[in-house]
Amino acid sequence: MIRARRLDALDDSPEAVRRRSPVHHLWYAAYGSNMHLDRLTAYLAGGRPPGGLRSYPGCRDPRVPARTAPIMLSGLLYFATESQVWTGGSAFYDPGAAPARRPDGRPGSAELPSCAYLLTLSQFSDIAAQEMYREPGEDLDLTEAVTRGRSRTGPGRYETLVCPGLLDGYPVLTFTAPWSSQDIAMNPPSAAYLRHIAAGIVASHGWSARRAADYLAGCPGADGHWTATEIAALLTDPA
């Protein structure tokens, strides 16, 4: 197993904010299918990820991430809405949620595994645009997110930016929905989507297939619809 990196707290003092503004480089914390390198490459260089239904134009800067690091985010991973790329529920991050109790009565996880990629501002901005099915090309203003830890760039399902902390002096950012996991109906994810997420966890954190599957089987939306055995089998299924 690979040891996950710990994040430093977000210092919102005027001097600290001045030192990290404007943002030129940042860690993008991927917690869904972008944990899988094939999926992220489709966003960076363009193309269609295996199992996906959509092709992407790619980023203005198609280079691979400068660095990669496994991290754990405090909060809850859940599946809701309907993915136009994978069908089934999309993955969302609720940073303020308490762990949900699993159908078997066991408590869920209070943390979710994430793969952090060190990217440029333009790369992160272009990935965020493609998540919303928009053409890339415009840099996001991250000032509020890296100052207050959260900001909304629009009403869409992936237009709320969350900055849970710093890693090696760079802000860590991800995007999620503006709503809480308590405010939306869950929707089970598809097999192809779960395969990408599980494979990303195994590759970035060094977890066994069974541990990754057990974790995902306990996430709201997947729990009660996918068993750990079924998810683990996806990692050996060539389809």
Please report the DSSP string for 134-192 in residue order: ---------HHHHHHSEEESSSSTT-EEEEEEEETTEEEEEEE-SS-GGGS-B-PBPHH
**In-domain check, residue 81:** yes
What would the mean pLDDT of 54-81 be, rounded to a whole number? 96
**In-domain check, residue 8:** no
Instruction: Write down the pLDDT at residue 22.
Output: 86
Rg (CA), the chain: 17
Instruction: Decide which of 39 and 65 is more confident.
Output: 65
**In-domain check, residue 9:** no
At 85, is the pLDDT very low, low, confident or very high (cuts 50, 70, 90)? confident
Instruction: Write down the pLDDT at residue 104.
Output: 63
Q: Are 124 and 145 in contact (CB under 8 A)?
A: no
35: tokens are: 């944990």
Instruction: Write down the pLDDT at residue 169.
Output: 93
**In-domain check, residue 143:** yes
**How far does Cα 58 stand from its chain's mean position?**
18
Instruction: Write down the pLDDT at residue 9.
Output: 93
**Residue-number span of the structural domain to which 56 is assigned:** 14-234
Q: The whole model's pTM is what?
A: 0.92
Instruction: Write down the pLDDT at residue 109.
Output: 73
**In-domain check, residue 83:** yes
Q: How far apart are CA 123 and CA 86, in angstroms?
A: 23
The closest alpha carbon to 91, from 35, 39, 164, 31, belongs to 31
Specify the CATH number for the domain of residue 229. Answer: 3.10.490.10
Total domains in the fold of the chain: 1
**In-domain check, residue 193:** yes
**In-domain check, residue 1:** no
**In-domain check, residue 153:** yes
